[in-house]
């Protein structure tokens, strides 16, 4: 089984790359399948995760990890924010306004962006926990920068400053130890 990325995610990341003048540079180094997916992301609803990884690798090659993280933060805020904000408000009303509330529901949230990727939340006290993302195949450690952008967006929604205190990558899994 492989994982897939939603067309909306490709569209959002492409928009952020264009805003920063990186789209053409990144796309030029991509495989033909990646170029086709990013040139017409709505040709289908889901694309192979490999095209997102290829484009992301090229973005990292023409920029840097902080810029790539910022692109993913902006993409999450602008593309998925309108979908997630109402769900977040309900969740926080019912269970409290903490990052743990949102990280505990991350699995439901990421389903609109990626398919066959799972998320776990393991609390480590009232102000900390481990957030994991698990792929069905090996993924480059550089993909963690994209998740850091998403985590920053979720932290913003919670109204708390969240910091990463530990990070681990093992083949197809990322684990972020977070506190606030």
- CATH code (residue 70): 3.90.1520.10
Provide the pLDDT for residue 85: 64
The H or E element spanning position 163 is strand 163-170
Instruction: For residues 106 and 134, give the distance between their C-alpha atoms in angstroms, rounded to a whole number.
Output: 12
Backbone dihedral angles phi then psi of residue 112, each to the nearest 5 degrees? -80, -15
**Secondary structure of 116-147 in HEC code, one letter for each residue:** CCEEEEEECCCCEEEEEEECCCCCCHHHHHHH
Residues 171, 177, 180: CA angle, nearest 5 degrees: 155
Burial 121-150 (b: 16+ CB within 10 A, else e): beeeeeebbbbbbbbeeebeebbbbbbbbb
Q: What is the pLDDT of residue 151?
A: 95
What 3-state class would DSSP assign to 173?
Answer: strand
Average pLDDT of span 31-57: 97
Total number of domains in the chain: 1
Separation between Cα atoms, residue 47 and residue 33, nearest integer Å: 10
Q: What is the pLDDT of residue 82?
A: 66
Percentage of residues of the chain with pLDDT beyond 90: 75
Domain extent at residue 93? 4-179
b/e 9-19 (16+ beta carbons within 10 angstroms → b): bbebbbbbbee
Residue 43: what pLDDT? 97
- The pTM for the full model equals 0.89
Q: Is the per-residue pLDDT at 157 higher than 90?
A: no
pLDDT in tens, 127-155: 999 999 999 999 999 999 999 999 998 89
Q: Is the pLDDT of residue 38 over 80?
A: yes
Mean residue pLDDT across the chain: 92
């Amino acid at each position: 089984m492989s994982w897939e990325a939603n067309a909306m995610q490709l569209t959002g990341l492409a928009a952020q790359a264009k805003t920063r003048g990186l789209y053409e540079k990144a796309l030029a180094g991509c495989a033909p399948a990646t170029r086709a997916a990013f040139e017409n992301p709505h040709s289908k609803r889901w694309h192979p995760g490999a095209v997102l990884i290829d484009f992301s690798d090229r973005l990292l090659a023409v920029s840097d990890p902080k810029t790539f993280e910022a692109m993913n933060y902006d993409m999450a805020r602008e593309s998925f924010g309108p979908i997630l904000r109402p769900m977040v408000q309900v969740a926080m009303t019912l269970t409290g306004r903490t990052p743990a509330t949102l990280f505990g529901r991350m699995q439901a949230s990421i389903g609109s962006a990626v398919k066959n990727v799972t998320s776990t939340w393991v609390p480590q006290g009232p102000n900390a926990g481990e957030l994991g993302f698990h792929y069905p195949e090996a993924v480059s450690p550089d993909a963690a920068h994209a998740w850091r952008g998403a985590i920053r967006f979720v932290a913003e929604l919670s109204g708390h400053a969240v910091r990463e205190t530990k990070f681990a990558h093992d083949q197809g899994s990322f684990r972020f130890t977070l506190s606030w």
